[in-house]
Amino acid sequence: MITCFLKYKIDPAKLKEFEHYGKLWIDIVNEMGGLHHGYLLPHEGENDVAYASFSFNSLAEYEVYRNKIPLSPKCLEAIDYFDKTHCYFSYNRSFLKPLFEGVTDQAKLFY
């Protein structure tokens, strides 16, 4: 499994628009074979930073998803929504390998 972790620099004055943008992508990723883990929007502290993450079974499956984006009407709609609202200024993307099992879970495999 591979998880894409995004850190956005958002426009605090357009938080409502960014929230809608996020909802569009949650549906898209889930419909295109991924598992979206949601968005984390500002609440206390910095008001111009938001996070999102989603996973695919492999980097190859993520690449298939990326190649489908220009052909998907829903993706193009989300991109157009951003072009109209400019609800964020920039984002950074990292790919991570999730770890879900603790030592106790692994010990069960050996006994």
Q: How buried is 88 (Cβ within 10 angstroms: 0-12 exposed, 13-18 middle, 19+ buried)?
A: buried
* Domain containing residue 61: 2-110
> Residue 27 sits in a domain of what CATH number?
3.30.70.100
pLDDT in tens, 61-96: 999 999 999 999 999 999 999 999 999 999 999 999
Q: What is the pLDDT of residue 108?
A: 60
Q: How many domains would you assign to the chain?
A: 1
pTM: 0.86
Closest by CA position to 89, among listed 9, 18, 12, 7: 9
Whether residue 107 has pLDDT greater than 80: no
Label residue 102 by pLDDT band (50, 70, 90): confident
Residue 48: pLDDT above 60?
Answer: yes
